[in-house]
Amino acid sequence: MNTIDYIYRFDPKNPSAKPLPIDADHARRTLEDGNRMFSRWMESCRTGTTSEGEPRYVVACNGLEVGMQRLHGSMPRQTPFAVVVGCSDARVPTEMLFGQGFNDVFVIRVAGNVLGDVCMGSVDFALNALSDSVRLVVMLGHSGCGAVTGAVDAYLQPQKFWSRSLSPMLRSIIQRIFVAVREAANGLKEVWGPDARNMPGYREALIEAAVCINAAQAAFDLRQEVERNGKWEIDVLYAVHDIRNHQVCMPVYPGMQRKDENVRLAQAPTNPTEFRNLAQEMAQLLLPRS
Ligand SMILES: [Zn+2]
């Protein structure tokens, strides 16, 4: 089997191979295309099959990004086109999974992709100090999230939540995810029936649904923050990175195949009633097959 490369390329003959996206829609397509490439690369590595031509996946870097057109010793100007809030999980490397490189994305990573004051402060900084280049704000959850799993287990067994093994700081992360877990549990109860909790696969389904709803709720909060800043031209999107097949889409559930057309960043909810609809949609998708 051949080696399969994932390459960061600066081409001096074409120093502006990657111009800044002109608007929010262009920025969204840039991230989605990048994830299609990344998930294809991961699939090639896993299955040993390669796409046509040489087995290389290339991330273009432009001259400004690598610091061309500046004097020796001076700093490159920061020009990210997107702000991404994601989880600290090592299996979710933000720039890489969106096929981006140096100076492309302003990344905030915190366990469970929860939005505390400090995290929101970083978003505010990017919205105001980097407003010349930022076109998009993205909330990114991921399947198999340890923080969401912790919140689900604490919801199912409240005594665990109050045990001494959980530090107050860790408890504050889990507390922020509880709202999504409760919404997910309501959805499962409505669709699966009042006995949902005793059905096989309930805990796993609750985790899968809570991951998507947690991202949706945080995206809703992000949208309000963007609007508070009066940045109407900036889109707020959300999605979940499926660590089973490495694609970023919405919604995400087990058994989903990697397909280019599945890769999609969704518009952040504009109304809290959308969480209930999402919880019901997730409960349908996760219904145990008899
Ligand atoms: Zn996580």
| pLDDT > 80? residue 67 | no
Range with lowest mean pLDDT among 55-59, 206-210, 244-248, 269-273: 55-59
Per CATH, is 5-285 categorized as 3.40.50.300?
no
Compute, in angstroms, the gap from residue 231 CA to the centroid of ligand 1. Answer: 28
Q: How much is the pLDDT for 108?
A: 98
pLDDT tens digit sequence for 3-57: 888 888 888 888 777 888 999 999 999 999 999 999 999 998 888 776 566 567 8
Compute, in angstroms, the gap from residue 69 CA to the centroid of ligand 1. Answer: 39
Q: How much is the pLDDT for 64?
A: 64
What the block records as the tokens of 279 is: 């919880």
Helix, coil or strand: residue 137: strand
| pLDDT > 80? residue 124 | yes
Q: What are phi and psi of 81, to 5 degrees?
A: -95, -10
Compute, in angstroms, the gap from residue 290 CA to the centroid of ligand 1. Answer: 30
pLDDT tens digit sequence for 169-209: 888 899 999 999 999 999 999 999 999 999 999 999 999 99
Q: For the residues of 56-120, what is the DSSP string, one character each?
A: EEEEE--TTTTTTTS-TTPPPPP--SEEEEE---TT--HHHHTT--TTTEEEEE-GGG---HHHH
Compute, in angstroms, the gap from residue 76 CA to the centroid of ligand 1. Answer: 32
DSSP bridge pairs for 105: 82
Compute, in angstroms, the gap from residue 270 CA to the centroid of ligand 1. Answer: 24
Yes or no: say if 143 and 250 are a contact pair by the CB < 8 Å rule: no
Compute, in angstroms, the gap from residue 114 CA to the centroid of ligand 1. Answer: 10
256-276 b/e (C-beta count within 10 Å ≥ 16 → b)? bebeeebbebbebbeeeebbe
Q: How far apart are the C-alpha atoms of 273 and 106, rounded to whole Å? A: 30
The amino acid present at 257, given as its one-letter code, is: Q
Q: How much is the pLDDT for 69?
A: 66
Q: How far apart are the C-alpha atoms of 162 and 154, rounded to whole Å? A: 9
pLDDT averaged over every residue in the chain: 91
Handedness of CA 197, 203, 205, 210 (dihedral sign): positive
Range with lowest mean pLDDT among 53-67, 113-127, 186-200: 53-67
Compute, in angstroms, the gap from residue 72 CA to the centroid of ligand 1. Answer: 40
Compute, in angstroms, the gap from residue 143 CA to the centroid of ligand 1. Answer: 8
Compute, in angstroms, the gap from residue 105 CA to the centroid of ligand 1. Answer: 19
The amino acid present at 272, given as its one-letter code, is: P
3-class secondary structure per residue, 4-58: CEEEEECCCCCCCCCCCCCCHHHHHHHHHHHHHHHHHHHHHHHHCCCCCCCCEEE
What the block records as the tokens of 255 is: 């058994």
Q: Which of 246, 166, 243 is nearest to 211 (CA)?
A: 243
Q: How much is the pLDDT for 52?
A: 61
Q: Where are the domains of the chain?
A: 5-285
